[in-house]
Amino acid sequence: MFSEAVMNEHKTKFIAAKKAKDWRAVVEVLLSLRVNALQISPELRKNLVYELIRNDVFLLQTKYKNNFLLDLLDQEKKSLRHALLALVSVIVSTLKGAEYLTSIDETIIGKIIEILENEEDGSVNQRF
């Protein structure tokens, strides 16, 4: 399981990469978080999701509110959308995760639906 230090390192790198618009680094962090979530047993996966929420990985509980995540969702880069939707799917696999993404309002869910409606039917992102 992720230690607090590793979680903070990922979050710091994630925020810095987004700020610098280094989309490759953003994707790298998102995929790392998702891979780690998928490599642990299903019983422990929920705990990792709770750690992501507790550490406010998408900065929903900060002054940025929905803006940090919505800005990422607005990017047209396929690899970024894929990595982002993959991690979102892990987070919303729990009730607390769904509550986390809708903690401000439902704008994020609306944006995700909009993205998925524009995807090719049966795409990997739609399956997430």
Q: Cα(4)–Cα(8) distance, rounded to whole angstroms?
A: 6
Query: Exposed (0-12), middle (13-18) or buried (19+): which is 5, by Cβ within 10 Å?
Result: exposed
Q: What is the pTM of this model?
A: 0.89
Q: Is pLDDT at 117 greater than 60 in this prediction?
A: yes
Q: What is the dihedral of CA 115, 78, 124, 39, to 10 degrees?
A: -120
Distance of CA 80 to the CA centre of its chain: 10
pLDDT digits (tens, 9 = 90+) for 3-27: 788 899 999 999 999 999 999 999 9
State how many domains the chain has.
Answer: 1
Q: Is pLDDT at 104 greater than 60 in this prediction?
A: yes
Q: What is the domain range of residue 76?
A: 4-127
